[in-house]
Structure 1
Amino acid sequence: MAGASTPRTTAIRRGPASARTARPETGDRVLPFLTAAVLAVSACSPQPPTPAASPAAAAPGPVTIEVNQSRDQYGQHAILLQLTNTTDVLLTVDLARVTSPLFNGDIAWTPQAGSLELPPHQPKSVPAQLPPPACADLATASPQASATVSFAAAGQQPAALSLPAPDPFGVLPRNNSELCLAADAAKVAGLALDPHLEVAADGRTAVVLLRISPQPTAPGGTPPLTLHSVGGTPLLAEAGPESGAEPWPRNVTVRTGETGTALALRVRPARCDPHAVAEDKVGTLLPLTVTVGTREGVLKVAAGGPLRAQLYDFVTQACQTG
């Protein structure tokens, strides 16, 4: 997780790239520029009143940071921090830390090698684990995240830069919502996929068991969990009536103190192109549309390692069978 990579576009993480045009002065003027970029206030001639610029609209410093997420991080409670060197000289970064009211604790990254080289005018994306979400009422809290980046130019001591952390694709609110929904659901029942896959004799379909394990009844009561529907994935789809399968369950209500149960989900391959398994990232994350109290959304239940391997084998064999 501590490695760095140049960012790549995926269906989940990227939209059109934002243009970055600021080019600070170079060479031995880097450090004075750092001070000016972070602390100076423009001294333009008087103009008609205009709204104050937001932190995200201010001139970029020598390093900028942006929040993002790729399919590699999705389902792992991790995100990407995209660092960009806006100067004409090589910089090294030894710490990046993002603070958001949506999470209890900082989203921090430190390189395993001690520092990360950031070439001039190039971005690099580094993975960072999310802390537990803040699930209280955040209606009055600002969604704006802030960051601290520690960096240095050649021959200089590291400097700490405080700056905004734009989140153009709403990665932090989305992850907060999903994690809080998962936390509320876990108070009602454990939801997990059985590690054993039951493959049909003809190899064309298989049964995934969704195990529901209600928690003991808690004092004061806990709102029930309603499983409205189960969705398919890029790898798995609901087996149709032609296979003799029962439809996937809908509108199942679960309460604390009840007996555990298992829902049988007969699946078939959703696609059989050559890259279906080789390029899969989220095909074994089963999406459940649920409601718990006032929260409603999609809860992703991940297949563990043994089941994931069986699902890949099943899809490969079923596609070859035709």
Structure 2
Amino acid sequence: MRRLVVLLLLATALTSCGGDDTVDVPKGVTVRLEQVRQDLQNRKFSVQVVNHGTTSITVEKARLESGRLPKAAVYTGPAVIEPGTEVNLTTEMPPARCGRGLDATVRLTYSVDDGKTVESTVKPTDHFGSVGRFMKRDCAARTLGKLVIDDRLTVRGKGKNATISVGFTVTPPAKGDPVHLVRVDGSTLLAPESDAATTIDRTTEPGGEPLHAEVTFIPNRCDVHVVAEDRTGGIVPLRLESKAFGSSPIYLRFKEPQKAQIFDYLAERCGFGKVQDPLNAP
């Protein structure tokens, strides 16, 4: 019996020696997640390291793990975070599963004041709730199924009366929950021609027939500077509702040939190159 106890104690000691050797993050250092506006056009987000401490840290790697992700999202540095600063470590988010909350940890590999490399595991906060909304959009897209925008956008009318219409097809998955397509909203470039012109109010059923819808827009602003400097006009939000995720938008994402058609429409409708821009008037 005594020999068995000794063996059990030895096994416990060996297990402890092989455990997690992480350390606490330096005092004043916190980690939060954020997706900034310009990253809405892709799958980028940031692990934001905030240093309110008194020493600089150099991050070699930041690894976000979540029960809602099929694999970790990894940032590879180095990135130096000086005292009194915050730095966005930008990386790509794998498509998230449906679920609740972030269910996430961040594992930082870093050094303090150019010392030896250590690791810390922290629970990040969700700055402004932006990454939680990102995951919710993934859940909504997964529940909705396959969405394909028509290659050719349709311009109707001429001059200041011209509109542009976007058609798209949704093919529901074989299993899941029904999804109600509410409406499509505008962007910095495009505004709904009217409430009715971008209202869909139709529901898909799992395993059901594909749904085709068309929505119609006019320019949001005839300002050449807005068009030239735009970062998010290449997407428009499609509002969805379902038991699986509640209420959430997903984004209709225009490919380059479709964006070119939108820019051509805006140039013609707004008279770019034909009408004097008041900001550049002589």
Quote the offset at 1:155 in angstroms. 4.8
Q: Secondary structure at the match of 2:229?
A: coil
Q: How does 1:1-322 map to 2 (within 5 A)?
A: 38=24, 61=27, 63-111=29-77, 115-136=78-99, 138=100, 143=102, 145-186=104-145, 190-200=146-156, 202-204=158-160, 205-215=162-172, 218=174, 222-240=176-194, 247-255=197-205, 260=210, 262-295=212-245, 296-320=247-271
Maintained 8 Å contact 1:105/1:132 = no
Residue identity in the other structure for 2:122:
L
**Deviation of the 1:167 alpha carbon:** 1.5
Cα distance in 2, alignment partners of residues 257 and 82 from structure 1: 41
Offset at residue 169 of structure 1 (A): 1.0
TM-score, length basis structure 1: 0.66
C-alpha deviation, 1:256, in angstroms: 5.3
Report the CA distance shift for 1:122/1:249 in structure 2 as closer, same or farther (over 3 A). closer
Higher mean alpha-carbon deviation, 176-185 vs 251-260, is at 251-260
**TM-score, normalisation: structure 2:** 0.74
Paired with 2:214 and 2:74, the residues of 1 have a C-alpha distance of 40
Change in Cα spacing, 1:213 to 1:143, as seen in structure 2 (3 Å) is closer
Deviations, residues 60-90 of structure 1 (Å, cap 9, x unaligned): 6364322111112114222111123445454
- The whole-number CA distance in structure 1 between the counterparts of 2:68 and 2:225 is 36
Moved more, 66-75 or 177-186: 66-75
The number of equivalent residue pairs is 249
- Structure having the higher strand fraction is 2
Q: After superposition, what is the alpha-carbon deviation per residue over 1:277-309, rounded to whole angstroms, capped at 9, x for unaligned?
A: 123222232222223444332221111121123
Structure 2: stretches of 5+ with no match in the other structure: 1-22, 276-282
8 A Cα contact 2:143 2:176, kept in partner: no
CA-CA distance at 1:96 after TM superposition: 1.0
How big is the shift at 1:181?
0.8
3-state DSSP of counterpart to 1:124: strand
Q: Evaluate the alpha carbon distance shift between residue 185 and residue 312 of structure 1 in structure 2; reply closer, same or farther with a 3 A threshold.
A: same
Q: Identity percentage over the alignment?
A: 23
Q: Find the aligned partners of 1:133 and 1:82 in 2 and give their Cα distance.
A: 20
- 1:270 CA drift (Å): 0.8
Q: 1:211 touches 1:263 (CA, 8 Å); kept in 2?
A: yes
Please tell me whether the aligned partners of residues 95 and 149 of structure 1 are also in contact (alpha carbons under 8 angstroms): yes
Asked if the contact 1:195/1:303 (under 8 Å) is kept, the reply is no
Letter of the structure 2 residue corresponding to residue 185 of structure 1: L
Work out the CA distance in 1 between the residues paired with 2:126 and 2:237: 24
Q: Secondary structure at the match of 1:182?
A: helix
C-alpha contact 2:149 2:168 (8 A) present in aligned 1? yes
Deviation at 1:269, TM superposition (A): 0.4
Q: Distance in 2 between matches of 1:74 and 1:240?
A: 25
Aligned partner of residue 203 in structure 2, secondary structure: strand
Q: Secondary structure at the match of 2:63?
A: strand
Rounded Cα–Cα distance in structure 2 between residues aligned with 1:260 and 1:143:
32
CA distance in 1, matches of 2:122, 2:242: 37
Q: From the superposition, tell whether residues 308 and 318 of structure 1 become closer, same or farther in structure 2 (CA, over 3 Å).
A: same
Q: How far apart, CA to CA, are the structure 2 residues paired with 1:70 and 1:177?
A: 16
Question: What one-letter code is carried by the residue in structure 1 that aligns with 2:147?
Answer: L
The structure where helix makes up a greater share of residues is 2
**Partner SS, residue 61 of structure 1:** coil
Structure 1: where are the runs of 5+ without partners? 1-36, 40-59
Alpha-carbon distance, 1:104 to partner: 3.7
Cα distance in 1 for residues equivalent to 2:58 and 2:68? 29
Cα deviation digits, residues 9-29 of structure 1 (max 9, x gap):
xxxxxxxxxxxxxxxxxxxxx
CA distance in structure 2 between the aligned counterparts of 1:306 and 1:215, rounded to whole angstroms: 26
Partner Cα distance (1:181, 1:117) in 2: 36
